[in-house]
């Protein structure tokens, strides 16, 4: 067997040291390359008995809205309001030239007088005929004819009286008055224009909307509607489904829910296409600050309940689910899907998905190393209400 000779510069001791380094250093490099467990803060979810407020987006609408149209045709003679002013029910808005209607009223009165004279004549003839019947001066047929003449005269009088009332009503309608109180829009016609009245193809003169009280219209999901129904069925608890329940509304530029009102109406069926149900609340608007068409955010009373509260910042969206990271065995991260509610005490309400024994990761979740199944280094934390 041939002998292998080593270079003079490579002694057996140096060769042993090199082999040792090759076998040990890679392990050291692997140990040094493993990232440490990221530090996180964990705490139990905060249990509180709170008043639940469900939030919805909607818009304000006038409770009453009227299109003002002429009931009779004619020329506009005068306009008695300023565009956009507040008006009271019964205020005069437009005047239509009444001269043709005055003449119609006089003609109807004359026709009534003529029919009254005919009735008087027919009554006299009837009285004479009844006296002559006893002496057999006239026949029974002639008596029946005079009775028919009297009945026809009285019917003509009734028709004339009705025509007189219609003429008087048409004359009254030449003054167009406000049917409701509220704020009026601008005029759609000017003085001198011919407007059409009647039952169809009438001319729009202006519109009026009521402002106090004002309605807030919104749509609730089918899930919320069922939840309210279950609460009522289970314990008779008053919820947002009840007419008269308290609501609070804020506008786009407001931080607090400053406007209070009450539920007024819930529709009788769920929309099959959208899966929502239409509802309405009513708010006082004495200063007329709230304007129809304005959007707002509403809180609806959802009853009293014990719920868990967690910081809103730790909620993670996982496609269609909302997830909270919790601490599991061996300090591993376990995601838990949760059902969320509104904000209460500055924290997010968790309706379902957590228990009192869960340890929720409240700090450190921004680290890319904190992921489902990953190992973390937990530190005790605390969830506090946010003033």
CATH class, domain 64-97+174-209, is: mainly beta
Cβ contacts of 386 within 8 Å, gap of 6 or more: 345, 346, 347
What is the pLDDT, as a whole number, of residue 290?
92
Of the candidates 333, 349, 329, the one whose C-alpha atom is nearest the C-alpha of residue 341 is 349
3-state secondary structure of 202: coil
pLDDT in tens, the chain (387 residues): 444 444 444 444 443 444 344 444 444 434 455 678 889 999 999 998 888 788 899 999 999 999 999 999 999 999 999 999 999 999 999 999 999 999 999 999 999 999 999 999 998 888 877 767 666 667 777 878 888 988 999 999 999 999 999 999 999 999 999 999 999 999 999 999 999 998 888 999 999 999 999 999 999 989 888 878 877 777 655 555 566 788 899 999 998 888 999 988 989 899 999 999 999 999 999 988 999 999 999 988 777 778 899 999 999 887 788 999 999 999 999 999 998 888 888 899 998 899 989 999 999 888 888 888 889 999 999 898 887
**Could you tell me the CA-to-CA distances from 368 to 32, 360, 372 in Å, in that order?**
19, 17, 11
SS3 content of the chain, % helix, strand, coil (to 5): 30, 35, 35
Architecture field, domain 46-61+213-380: Beta Barrel (2.40)
What is the pLDDT, as a whole number, of residue 44?
92
Give the distance, in angstroms, between the CA of residue 94 and the centroid of all CA atoms in the same chain. Answer: 34
Half-sphere exposure of 87 (CA within 13 A, CB side): 24
Domain ranges of the chain: 46-61+213-380, 64-97+174-209, 99-173
Of the candidates 169, 276, 144, the one whose C-alpha atom is nearest the C-alpha of residue 220 is 276
What is the pLDDT, as a whole number, of residue 16?
40
Handedness of CA 124, 128, 133, 134 (dihedral sign): positive
What is the pLDDT, as a whole number, of residue 162?
96
What is the pLDDT, as a whole number, of residue 236?
55
Q: Classify domain 99-173 by CATH number.
A: 1.10.287
What is the pLDDT, as a whole number, of residue 30?
40
CB atoms within 10 A of CB 250: 15
What is the pLDDT, as a whole number, of residue 21?
42
What is the pLDDT, as a whole number, of residue 140?
75
């Amino acid at each position: 067997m041939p002998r292998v000779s080593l270079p003079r510069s490579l002694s057996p001791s140096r060769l042993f040291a090199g082999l040792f380094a090759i076998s040990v250093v890679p392990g050291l490099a692997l140990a040094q390359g493993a990232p440490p467990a990221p530090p996180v803060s964990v705490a139990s979810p905060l249990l509180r008995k709170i008043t639940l407020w469900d939030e919805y987006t909607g818009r304000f609408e006038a409770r009453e809205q009227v299109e003002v149209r002429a009931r009779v045709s004619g020329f506009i003679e005068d306009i008695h309001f300023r565009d956009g002013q507040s008006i009271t029910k019964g205020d005069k808005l437009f005047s239509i030239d009444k001269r043709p209607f005055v003449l119609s009223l006089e003609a109807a009165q004359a026709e009534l007088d003529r029919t009254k004279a005919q009735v008087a004549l027919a009554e006299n003839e009837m009285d004479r005929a009844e006296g002559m019947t006893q002496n057999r001066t006239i026949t029974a047929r002639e008596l029946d004819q005079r009775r028919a003449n009297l009945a026809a005269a009285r019917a003509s009088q009734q028709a004339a009286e009705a025509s007189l009332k219609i003429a008087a009503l048409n004359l009254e309608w030449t003054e167009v008055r406000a049917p409701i109180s509220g704020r009026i829009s601008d005029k759609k016609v000017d003085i001198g224009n011919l407007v059409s009245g009647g039952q169809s193809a009438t001319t729009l003169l202006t519109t009026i909307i009521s402002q106090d009280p004002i309605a807030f219209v919104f749509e609730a999901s089918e899930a919320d509607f069922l939840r309210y129904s279950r609460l009522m069925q289970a314990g008779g608890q008053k919820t947002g489904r009840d007419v008269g329940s308290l609501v609070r509304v804020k506008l786009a530029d407001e931080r607090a829910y400053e406007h209070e009102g009450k539920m007024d109406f819930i529709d009788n069926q769920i929309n099959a296409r959208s899966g929502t149900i239409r509802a309405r609340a009513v708010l006082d608007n004495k200063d007329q600050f709230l304007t129809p068409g304005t959007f707002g955010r509403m809180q609806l009373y959802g009853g009293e309940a014990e719920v868990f509260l967690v910081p809103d910042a730790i909620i993670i969206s996982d496609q269609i689910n909302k997830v909270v990271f919790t601490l599991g065995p061996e300090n591993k991260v376990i995601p838990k899907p949760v059902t969320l509610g509104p904000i209460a005490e500055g924290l997010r309400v968790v309706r379902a998905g957590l228990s009192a024994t869960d340890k929720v990761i409240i700090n450190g979740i921004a680290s890319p190393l904190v992921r489902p199944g990953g190992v973390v280094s937990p530190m005790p934390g605390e969830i506090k209400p946010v003033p």
